[in-house]
Amino acid sequence: MQPLRGTKDILPYEIKLWQQIYNVANEILTANNYYEIRTPILENTELFNKGIGNFTDIVNKEMYSFNDQGERNITLRPEGTASIARAFISNKLYLKQKINRLWYLGPMFRYERPQRGRQRQFHQLGIECIGSSLPIADVEVIRLAIKTLDALGFKEYILEINSIGNMAERDIYKNDLIKYLKLYQNDLDRDSQKKLLTNPLRILDSKNLNTQTILQQAPKLKNYLNEKSLDHFKYVCNSLKYLNIAYKINDYLVRGLDYYNCTAFEIKMKKLSNQNTICGGGRYDTLIEQLGGPYTPSVGWAIGIERLITIKNKNFHLNKPQNIIYIAHQEILDKYKIWDILDILENYEIKFELDLSNNNLYKQIKRANQMKAKICLILGEEEIKLKYITIKWLETGTQQKIHLSKFYNYLKYIKQQLET
């Protein structure tokens, strides 16, 4: 039996890396007063149809949707923001405080062609700053994305930003863009020809070289923005300069979700040509109202965890593994003393492994050496009879006999040695 195409087992040695990502994010985001939230993997399909947009690739091609036994139309969530917006509404978080800062890390599902760094079950780390229309909120979330990537050891990236204006501005621009592109309709790639009828703004993000050439002379969205939108974007850019956060304005950056407005941004790795976007986000002022909640301007981002791990940046390393105490024991009558020893080790927060084999002491100690344990605690028949524990320091071969009554205090010394 093999895992389904586009899914992957996360094995124990890999989990350490996932935990490091979680711990780094938790430390940074908690310090900035963001609170973790966990939403269900299953949602009503209508949530994503309304929130993401009927003409997006996600809704049209990529969602895992099905009818459950109650004939409800259910979808495995393809992204995190719509679920957070739904949770904000259904739990009436807007009644508790005006600004809600939330973050999440969890699995998402899209029926895409699996490739390096892209799976059908994938994971996102994301944040949502809910309740502020001020551009300072945009800067806050971008700063936190940069801070998180820096803390994880990622340096070779570029921040691309754009303003995609509000719905009214985009509607006027969209009409002019369609008029222009229709002049070259037969020269566009097949996917862009389809989008011309359904979601023309997404053509701006085309990777087809011929389509990109055609777009060079197309109308620019920035020329359709009013003073308010321009001032908002100007504040974001000036603040990034003040923070010494390098950025590039990309006039063709629109993102793939319909709910975005004003600021949109992506963070891309410099050395990769394809699949190099590791973070994407932007402002979404109308999504919550569109889903039935009060008008609540918001901004956020999401980082793809698998893509982060795939990049394998040389500075992205695991924390130094903890030293392990291995506990070897004989087949003896009074083994209950082992549980007292384990309790003491847990009280001192010392990592240990209890041997569960039926091997003799020699083989158990050999196993301790193979694991590169620093210490092996030996509990044999003589130890039980005389109420002591044999402590074997595996690097030097030195052995000590410590009476059980003194073992608790002796662990203070052991812990100091393990931490040096």
Which domains are assigned to the chain? 12-165+225-311 (3.30.930.10), 325-419 (3.40.50.800)
How many whole angstroms separate alpha carbon 261 and alpha carbon 184?
27
- Ligand-binding site membership of 202 (annotated): no
User: What's the token pair of residue 111?
Assistant: 């029926």
Alpha-helix runs per DSSP H in 292-353: 305-311, 337-347
The reported pLDDT for the residue numbered 273 is 58
Helix (H, G, I), strand (E, B) or coil at 54: coil
Residue 326's Cβ-side half-sphere holds a number of Cα atoms within 13 Å equal to 23
CA 146 to the chain's CA centroid: 14
The two structure tokens encoding residue 332? 């003896």
Token digits for 32?
A: 């900035």
Query: How many CB atoms within 10 Å of residue 123?
Result: 21
Annotated ligand binding at 259? The verdict is: yes
Which of 218, 259, 206, 195 lies closest to 50, judged by CA?
Answer: 259
Contacts for 114-118 with beta carbons within 8 Å, 24 or more apart? Answer: 114/5, 114/6, 115/275, 116/275, 116/310, 117/275, 117/304, 117/306, 117/307, 117/310, 117/311, 118/275, 118/304, 118/306, 118/307
124 annotated binding-site participant: yes
Pairwise CA distance, residues 258 & 164, whole Å: 11
Report the C-alpha gap between 234 and 222 in whole angstroms: 12
Q: Which amino acid is at 321?
A: P
Q: What's the CA dihedral at 394, 397, 403, 406 to 10 degrees? A: -60
408 annotated as ligand-binding: no
Assess contact for 353 and 371: CB atoms under 8 A.
Answer: yes
Tokens of 76: 């495995």
Residue 283 marked as a ligand binder? no
CB 256 within 8 A of CB 205: yes
Residues 77 and 117: their CA atoms lie apart, in Å, by 19
What is the model's pLDDT at position 57?
A: 74
Tell me whether residue 80 is annotated as binding: yes
pTM for the predicted model, two decimal places: 0.84
Chain centroid to Cα 24, Å, comes to 11
Q: Which residues, other chains included, contact 344 with Cβ-Cβ below 8 Å and sequence gap of 6+?
A: 407, 408, 411
The tens digit of pLDDT for each residue in 292-329 reads: 999 999 999 999 999 888 886 444 554 444 578 999 99
pLDDT for 408: 87
Q: Which residues in the chain come in under a pLDDT of 50?
A: 313-315, 318-321
112 marked as part of a ligand binding site: no
Kindly state the DSSP code that residue 220 receives in the 8-state scheme.
Answer: P
316-335 per-residue burial string, b: 16 or more CB within 10 A, e: under 16: beeeeeebbbbbbbeeeeee
- Residue 375 CA to residue 57 CA, distance in Å, equals 56
Distances (CA, A) of 35 to 100, 277, 314: 8, 25, 30
Please say whether the beta carbons of 154 and 315 come within 8 A: yes
Q: Within 10 A of 86 (CB to CB), how many other CB atoms are there?
A: 24
